Chain A
Amino acid sequence: DTGVSQNPRHKITKRGQNVTFRCDPISEHNRLYWYRQTLGQGPEFLTYFQNEAQLEKSRLLSDRFSAERPKGSFSTLEIQRTEQGDSAMYLCASSLVGQEELQYFGPGTRLTVT
């Protein structure tokens, strides 16, 4: 296994457009996490899954954000009606249940909203 992968690596979009990001976790990992990171800050929790079940969504997350993990493998994060404040690095991580302290991160998708 080559680790966690994310696509695309970069996305530039105009304000008001919808964007979708994909994350492929390490294959045997049943936990999958989405984070957002801006320059000089730590990763900010967005949501996480165990298999296909979404366990929690951050209260800070607006309804424009939605995530799925339909078959318990890859996950998608969609942002509708993007705003300039959505510009950030979107990180995906995965782990085994019971080893939540040890998360493996993907390279991230850098979103720029113009």
Chain B
Amino acid sequence: GQSLEQPSEVTAVEGAIVQINCTYQTSGFYGLSWYQQHDGGAPTFLSYNALDGLEETGRFSSFLSRSDSYGYLLLQELQMKDSASYFCAVEEIKAAGNKLTFGGGTRVLVKP
């Protein structure tokens, strides 16, 4: 089977940096995606890593270490609008076609 672990909640102040870790176990790993979901909203794609290393997209960066089965999402220069839930999702190789399995999510609360 597969499993993903990420912290349930993180609190930080505006302007700070937050790192959300994600560890995973899966038999057919292909890549790691990150999604953001505001309360009452739909998940939206943030970032993706298929290879080891850092991917930077504006204030958000994502890192992957395939050998450690570990990744993280880095949120820099936190803004109030970044208060949301963040999900890591493993892309698994399946014979029928790749699919995503989501973690339980990390709720980020940004305080003034």
Contact = CB atoms under 8 A, between A and B. Distances in A.
Interface of A: 31, 33, 35, 40-45, 48, 50, 55-56, 91, 93, 97, 100-108
A66 to B, nearest CB: 18
Contacts of B97: 31, 48, 50, 55, 97, 100
Top 10 A-B residue pairs of the complex, sorted by shortest distance between their CB atoms = A42-B102, A55-B96, A105-B42, A100-B98, A101-B48, A101-B33, A43-B102, A42-B105, A42-B87, A105-B43
Nearest to A107: B42
Given A55-B96, A101-B100, A40 B105 contact: yes
6 contacts: A41-B105, A44-B102, A55-B97, A101-B33, A101-B89, A105-B42
B99 A45 contact: yes
A40 B103 CA distance: 11
B43 A100 contact: no
A113 B87 CA distance: 27
Given A42-B87, A42-B104, A106-B42, A101 B31 contact: yes
Interface string B89-112: 101001011111111110100000
B2 to A, nearest CB: 10
A8 to B, nearest CB: 15
Interface string B12-47: 000000000000000000010100000001111100
